[in-house]
Amino acid sequence: MKIGLIKEGKIPTDTRVALTPDQCMDVMRTHPNISIVVQPSPNRSYSDQEYIAAGVPMQDDLSDCDVLLGIKEVPVADLIPDKTYFFFSHTKKKQPYNQKLMHTLIEKKITMIDYEALTYDNGQRIIGFGFFAGVVGAHNALLTYGKKSGLFELKPAHECRDMADMVKQYRHIQLPPVKIVVTGDGRVAHGILHVMEMMDIDSVAQNDFLANEYPHPVYTNLKNELLYRNKETHEFHRNEFHEHPEQYECLFHPYIKADILINGIYWDTKIQRLFEKSDVNDPAFKLNVISDVTCDIDGSVPVNMGASTIADPVYGYNKKTGQQTAPFINDDSIIDIMAVDNLPNELPRDASNMFGDHIIKHILPELMTGDSTILDRATICSNGKLGSHFEYLSDYAYKA
């Protein structure tokens, strides 16, 4: 089997990689029947020279590869017919902006295996960048608070060499006694909580968080079972919540009197929002920094007015007018919103290293078996037809 690491072609260019130089060599040492080549790129977080120094061959033309690994969507002009590709295709929800990509995958008889659809039998995702989305989302929340309050400055994650370099700054930061609410219980939340630990911010139970004041910074983590309850029974049952979220109400409202919200929950339109836009004018509403790692526009955080960028990650939301304003104004009438939708790309080396470990441990063995239910579940299309789990895409995938 010959595997090729493709050059990212989507603009703006993503700097993450599916396998680092050391991981490539580790795979080839462990599996002599696998070879790996890398398409040269000036934009990767791991440079061409690092791959060459590790002993990984560079190759412009990847047409002799069996499997091609990328991160973001591949431009349609770059797709090689009859190959097996792995990348985040963003087609499984019938995203209109990628319909041309979907048509091309079908026309070129490509086997498209989507990282997002790689799941265990219980539906849990196998691979993803959620942990580092949480890490950077939490870092950006603290950076925003420091800049808005004028109390301290933090270097953005993307200006740091790696996470260790980013975390080094925390030893010089002394937070005032702020209250931070963290939502979620998946990989994103784990990343957020990692930063809370690195900052020595104490965790407190939700009841204590609401009832008490503290002389030091604290946070509470609202997992789904603490954030939602059935409207009738006032209980939480995970399967019922996932199948019928419209039967559940959100219990977030008492937490609007905290200082910072770092939002890491999954959300769809059937799930009640954390709060409504009208709530921001409640005198009890004290949140003045919201890091919306989930980043659904007008979603669980209704004052998310659109995704921001790594270069310009924060905008203000004027509670009185409902309009977007400049950020970092120390004014109670303005909430600063961090809504970057590609946060892991701020720590691309760390994120790539963890991602590659998951590929080696969980995906490579499935590729080598030749008959994998895990890969089958994630195959959007193959040989000009939709995969069996994606036939619902037919009106989107096939040209009329």
Concatenate the DSSP letters of all residues of 144-161 into one string: HHHHHHTS-----GGGSS
CB atoms within 10 A of CB 244: 12
Q: How far apart are CA 191 and CA 121, in angstroms?
A: 24
Please check whether residue 315 is in contact with residue 286, taking contact to mean a CB–CB distance below 8 angstroms: no
Put residue 55 in one of left, alpha, beta given phi > 0 → left and psi -120 to 50 → alpha.
left
Q: Residue 246 burial by CB count (10 A; 0-12/13-18/19+): exposed, middle or buried?
A: exposed
**Per-residue tens of pLDDT for the chain, all 400 residues:** 999 999 999 988 899 999 999 999 999 999 999 999 999 999 999 999 999 999 999 999 999 999 999 999 999 999 999 999 999 999 998 999 999 999 999 999 999 999 999 999 888 889 989 999 999 999 999 999 999 999 999 999 999 999 999 999 999 999 999 999 999 999 999 999 999 999 999 999 999 999 999 999 999 999 999 999 999 999 999 999 989 999 999 999 999 999 999 999 988 889 999 999 999 999 999 999 999 999 988 999 999 999 999 999 999 999 999 999 999 999 999 999 999 989 999 999 999 999 999 999 999 999 998 789 999 999 999 999 999 999 999 999 999 7
Which residue, among 308, 310, 281, has the nearest Cα to 297 in the 3D structure? Answer: 308
Cα distances (Å, whole numbers) of residue 95 to 88, 92, 101, 242, 397: 12, 7, 10, 22, 11
Please check whether residue 263 is in contact with residue 300, taking contact to mean a CB–CB distance below 8 angstroms: yes
> pTM of the full predicted structure?
0.88
3-state SS class at 108 = coil
* Strand pairing category for 111-114 and 379-382: antiparallel
3-state SS class at 94 = coil
**The dihedral of CA 18, 23, 27, 28: what is its sign?**
positive
